[in-house]
Each structure stands twice: as structure tokens, then as C-alpha cells.
């Protein structure tokens, strides 16, 4: 039995199979979607999308004067004939897209109905599936969370998945994630930035309710070759607690650090909370805008199909 009346959902209600993370019907509908990067990145292997890096593709990009050491195979001899000067032909190289989905596995995510963590896990599964289907290099990372011994697992990741056949592997990895622990957002972002492999799209699924602040963590990954999407996952009980039975004389306990706050819920307190939540989300959004990060607030009561097929397409993450 949980220590708290509204504590983490019981383990029995959590998905245990990949099919429970993403069903075949949704998979079929996601087959037509692709992750959109607002930037063009070069990948490690030739992929299915353009790269700014000139390369060996058939699509001409530009000329540049020959310098010593250039591959003579790319000299445009026609121009040399006309102009008597050596120019190299530069071709756009088609690269694969690096897609990193970072899941917040801290205790704060393991709350709400439906659970923010479960929602984020299913969303990560869906986004990863889209990346795999489109031959993107998909990496998943999770911070917070517990290992098999119940200790803080730190940053967990699975990297360089590619192709539809890796779907099951990705799903199992997600299923093995055990939410718990506190913090680690900043450290996780720093380590992800340090171990960056190429460039790509990074999607961070978190509630961003870090007491140490979200700014330093996001600063590690912003503008470092990632097209970052910050998807703030909040439960409806967080967005409007008054409408979801939050009332009376409460001793609120922080799931992460067990910090307590004694609150007698009344209209003034609820109004103050809403103001604070709006201000907090606004500050996150403003920060993201300044750092060219796309911020999206996701209510876990939103149907996942609707989110993927409609909302995120409108927001430009998917197409």
C-alpha cells in the first residue's frame, strides 16, 4: 500500500508488454508520419533526408575553388575548360536523422491519472517508432528512475536504433524503466550533450518541475546541434487541482524529496496556485523561445492518438 493516498499508481496497472505501450492500430497510423526537423543535420550514415554537409549524393549543391588536397574526382572539368580554373562540384549528401527522446523518470512523473510517466513512456514509444520507421537513428534516454535494486539509476539510454525491426527492443527498454528517484535533470542533459553523436532532433518529455530549475539543463542541449522540443507533460490534477478533488486541510508531500507543505485549500489558494503554474509554464516557454526550443504543454488527459496525429502535426514536430 502506498504511503500516500494519491501516490504512484500500483505496479499492476502498468504496461508489461510492448503491445500495451503501442498497439498495432496506432502503429499503422504512425507509419505515415515522420519527424520533422526545423534544421538539416548530417548523420553518420546516409539516410533518407538531406544534409547540409556536402557529400556524395546526386543533388548538386554548390561550387567552390579547388584547393590543394581536394579529391580530383569532384573537379568540374567543364568549368575548367571554359574558365581555365579548377572548381570542385559540391553535392548535398543525404543523411539519416538522429532522434533522441529523453524521458523524465523521476518520482514527480510517476503521478497523476493517467500517470505522467506512463503517458511519457507511451509517447516516447510512439515517437521512437516513427523515427525507426523512417530509418532515423533513434536514441532513447531516461533520467531519474531506479535500477533493479531500487537505487537511483542515473542516466539510462539506448542508442542508435534504426529500422522497424528495432521496435521491440526499444519497447522492452522502455518497459524496463522504473520511475523513481529525484532530480538529475541538469546532470542528464549535461551528459547527453557531452556524448552527442551527430546532430538531430531531441525531444524532452518531462514535467520540468525541477526545484533546481530547468534552465541550466536545457542550456546544455540548446543550440548544440539539436533541434530541441521540450514537451511539458502535466497531469490534469496538476493543471486544475480544484476540479479534481483537491480540497480540505492537506499536508502535501513532495514525491521526490518528501518536502512537506501544509495547505488549507480554499479558493484563494487555488487561484494562487493557478497563477503560479501559469507563470511557471510561461517562464519555461519564454526560456525555450529564447533558446530556439519548441515548448509544448501536454495534458495527460489528452488522447495519445489525438496528440500524435493532430496536435504535434500542427505544432510541426510531425508531418
Partner 1 sequence: MSWLTPLFGGIVLASVIPPLVALYFLRLRRTRRAIPSTLLWKRSVEDLRANAPFQRLRPTLLLFLQLLFLALLGIALMQPRFDAGERREGRTVIVVDNSSSMNVLDGDDSGETSRLEFAKASAIERIEALHGGGLFSGDAAEIMVVAFNDEAEIRTPFTDSRQTAIEAVRGIEPTDGTSRLGGALQLARAYLTVIDPDSQTGPVATPAAVELWSDGRIDDLDEQVLREGERLEYHRVGSVDAGNIGIASIAAQRPYDEPGKIQVFIAVENPTAQSRKTDLQLSVNGVVRAITPVPIEIGPETEEPGLGKIPGRKQFAFAPFEQERDAVIEVLLLNEDAQPTDDAAMLVVPPARRLKVALVDTESFVLRSILEGMPLESLDLLTLDGYARLAESGGLDDYDVIVLDDAAVETLPPGRYLSFGRTPPIDGLTEFGDGAEGVVVRRSAEDHPVLRYVNLDELFVSSMRKLTTGVGVESLVDSGDGPMIVSVDRGSIQIIHATFDPLDSNWPYLRSFVNFVPNAIEYLGGLGDAVASAGVAPGSPLIARLPAQATDLRIRRPDGSDVAVESADPVTFAWGPVRRAGRYELSWTEPGDDSLRRRIFAVNQLDPTERRTAAAESIELSLDRITGEAAAAGGTRWQDFWPWLLAISLGLMMLEWWLWQRQSAAG
User: Shortest approach of partner 1 to residue 229 CB, angstroms?
Assistant: 21
Distance CA 3, CA 5 (A): 7
- Residue 313 Cβ vs partner 1, minimum distance, rounded to whole Å: 28
**Residue that has been written with the C-alpha cell 523521476 in this structure:** 106
CA separation for the pair 17, 11 (Å, rounded): 13
CB of 192 to partner 1, least distance (A): 22
CA–CA distance from 240 to each of 235, 236, 277, 298 (Å)? 9, 6, 10, 14
Name residues contacting partner 1, limited to 211-230 (CB under 8 A).
Answer: 211
277 is a contact residue toward partner 1 (CB under 8 A): yes
Of 219, 207, 205, 194, nearest in space to 293 by CA: 219
The size of the interface with partner 1 (CB under 8 A), counted in residues, is 43
Q: Which of 55, 114 has the CB closer to partner 1? A: 114
* Widest pairwise Cα distance in the chain: 87
The C-alpha cell that represents 61 in the structure block = 549543391
Considering only 56, 159, 264, 292, the residue that binds partner 1 (CB under 8 A) is 264
Cβ pair 161, 170 in contact under 8 A: yes
Neighbours of 151 (CB within 10 A): 10
Q: Is 118 in the site for partner 1 (CB under 8 A)?
A: no
Q: Residue 93 or residue 238: which is nearer to partner 1 going by CB?
A: 238
Q: How far is the CB of 235 from partner 1 (least distance, A)?
A: 8
Q: Does 250 participate in binding partner 1 (rule CB under 8 A)?
A: yes
| Residue 268 binds partner 1, judged by CB under 8 A | yes
Give the interface with partner 1 as residue ranges (CB under 8 A).
2-8, 107-109, 111-112, 116, 207, 209, 211, 235, 238, 246, 248-256, 259-264, 266, 268-269, 272-273, 275-277, 280
Amino acid at each position: 500500500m502506498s504511503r500516500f493516498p494519491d501516490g504512484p499508481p500500483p505496479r499492476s496497472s502498468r504496461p508489461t508488454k510492448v503491445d500495451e505501450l503501442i498497439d498495432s492500430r496506432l502503429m499503422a497510423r504512425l507509419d505515415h508520419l515522420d519527424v520533422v526537423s526545423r534544421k538539416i543535420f548530417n548523420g553518420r550514415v546516409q539516410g533518407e533526408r538531406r544534409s547540409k554537409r556536402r557529400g556524395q549524393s546526386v543533388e548538386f549543391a554548390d561550387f567552390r575553388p579547388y584547393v590543394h588536397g581536394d579529391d580530383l574526382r569532384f573537379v568540374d572539368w567543364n568549368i575548367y575548360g571554359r574558365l581555365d580554373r579548377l572548381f570542385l562540384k559540391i553535392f548535398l549528401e543525404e543523411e539519416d536523422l538522429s532522434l533522441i527522446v529523453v524521458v523524465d523518470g523521476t518520482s514527480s512523473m510517476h503521478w497523476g491519472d493517467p500517470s505522467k510517466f506512463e503517458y511519457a513512456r507511451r509517447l516516447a514509444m510512439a515517437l521512437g517508432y516513427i523515427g525507426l520507421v523512417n530509418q532515423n537513428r533513434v536514441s532513447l534516454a531516461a533520467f531519474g528512475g531506479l535500477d533493479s535494486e531500487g537505487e537511483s539509476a542515473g542516466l539510462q539510454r539506448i542508442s542508435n536504433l534504426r529500422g522497424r525491426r528495432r521496435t521491440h527492443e526499444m519497447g522492452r527498454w522502455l518497459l524496463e524503466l522504473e520511475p523513481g528517484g529525484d532530480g538529475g535533470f541538469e546532470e542528464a542533459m549535461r551528459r547527453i550533450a557531452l556524448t552527442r553523436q551527430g546532430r538531430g532532433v531531441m525531444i524532452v518529455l518531462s514535467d520540468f518541475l525541477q526545484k533546481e530549475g530547468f534552465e541550466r539543463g536545457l542550456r546544455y542541449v540548446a543550440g548544440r546541434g539539436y533541434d530541441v522540443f521540450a514537451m511539458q507533460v502535466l497531469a490534469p490534477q496538476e493543471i486544475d487541482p480544484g476540479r479534481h478533488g483537491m480540497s480540505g486541510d492537506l499536508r502535501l508531500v513532495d514525491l521526490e524529496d518528501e518536502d512537506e507543505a501544509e495547505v488549507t485549500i480554499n479558493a484563494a489558494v487555488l487561484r494562487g496556485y493557478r497563477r503560479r503554474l501559469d507563470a511557471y509554464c510561461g517562464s519555461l516557454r519564454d526560456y525555450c523561445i529564447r533558446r530556439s526550443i519548441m515548448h509544448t504543454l501536454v495534458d495527460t488527459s489528452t488522447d495519445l492518438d489525438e496528440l500524435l496525429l493532430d496536435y504535434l502535426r500542427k505544432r510541426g514536430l510531425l508531418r
